[in-house]
A and B are shown apart, each in its own frame.
Chain A
Amino acid sequence: AQSVTQLGSHVSVSEGALVLLRCNYSSSVPPYLFWYVQYPNQGLQLLLKYTTGATLVKGINGFEAEFKKSETSFHLTKPSAHMSDAAEYFCAVSDRGDYKLSFGAGTTVTVRA
């Protein structure tokens, strides 16, 4: 089974600053990669995904992520944080041919005014 590591359980950024959330996975074979966001007392919402093709993936709400095979990473970024970005973010991976996801422990983002 895949192992997923999210560096930093809490990230605090100023409004307007760059948001960078880190995700590394364990497989030597490129998996499918996902980022989800969870707002308080809600379910998880898909932000973006990488399945094949272009390694820079754009998602909703101005987020994007880049798949780097050599680094086994799929870091999530947003150039300018907004107060509404305060939430918990989860990275998830799936081996190709598998229909299960392995999740990271999550990163909580706080946005300072």
Chain B
Amino acid sequence: DAGITQSPRHKVTETGTPVTLRCHQTENHRYMYWYRQDPGHGLRLIHYSYGVKDTDKGEVSDGYSVSRSKTEDFLLTLESATSSQTSVYFCAISGGSPHPTQYFGPGTRLLVL
């Protein structure tokens, strides 16, 4: 299995509070991704990174920010959590070339009350 860990694995928080999720990899892969999974929607890309300090938005980026200060760590922040951000969040990594096979972490289950 790819060396990807996510923390925390479960979190309950209240509306309006900031939340930060962490993804850590030991594979030295260039690309890292944050997805959210909701019933009927599959996985939707929130943000991704193509190198240290290089990030870009995905299809559902509103209300989320990311940071990558080291190759191995990719942080996802909900600045002010809302109930619509209750979801399961997955981190993925990819070496990129020659093709973008992604490997997934175990997920973080977030409940916003």
Residues of A within 8 A of B100 (CB): 32, 94, 98-101
Flag if A43 contacts B42 (CB, 8 Å): no
In contact, B101 and A103 (Cβ under 8 angstroms): no
Residues of chain A with a CB closer than 8 A to B92's CB: 44
Inside 8 A of A1's CB, which chain B residues have their CB?
A: 59
Binary contact track A100-113/B, C-beta < 8 Å → 1, others 0: 11011110000000
Q: Is the pair B98, A43 in contact by a Cβ cutoff of 8 Å?
A: no
Q: Which residue of B lies closest to A105 (CB)?
A: B42
The contact size tier of chain B is: 20 to 34
B90 touches A43 (CB 8 A): yes
Q: Are A100 and B48 in contact (CB under 8 A)?
A: yes
In the complex, chain A residues whose CB is within 8 Å of the CB of B94: 99
Interface Cβ pair total, 8 Å cutoff: 55
CB < 8 Å neighbour of A99 from B42, B50, B90, B103: B50
Q: For chain A, what secondary structure do more than half of its interface residues adopt (helix, strand, loop), or is it mixed?
A: loop
User: A105 CA to B59 CA in the complex, in Å?
Assistant: 15
A103 touches B42 (CB 8 A): yes
Residues facing B in A66-113 (CB within 8 A) are 90, 94, 98-101, 103-106
Interface size class of A (residues with CB under 8 A): 20 to 34
6 more CB-based (< 8 A) A-B contacts, given A49-B101, A99-B50, A105-B42: A1-B59, A41-B107, A43-B104, A46-B103, A94-B99, A103-B43
How far is A41 from B37 in the complex, measured between Cα atoms in Å?
12
A-B pairs, top 5 by smallest CB distance, nearest first, are A43-B104, A103-B42, A44-B104, A103-B43, A99-B100
CB-CB under 8 A from A4, the residues of chain B are 42
- Return B110 CB to nearest CB of chain A, in Å: 14
Spell out A's residues near B (CB within 8 Å).
1, 4, 9, 32, 34, 36, 41-46, 49, 51, 90, 94, 98-101, 103-106
> Do residues A45 and B104 form an inter-chain contact, with CB atoms below 8 A?
yes
- Does residue B18 face the partner (Cβ distance < 8 Å to A)? no
A51 to B48 CA separation, bound complex (whole angstroms):
22
A105 touching B90 by the CB < 8 A rule? no
Q: Chain B residues near A100 (CB, 8 Å)?
A: 33, 45, 48, 58, 100
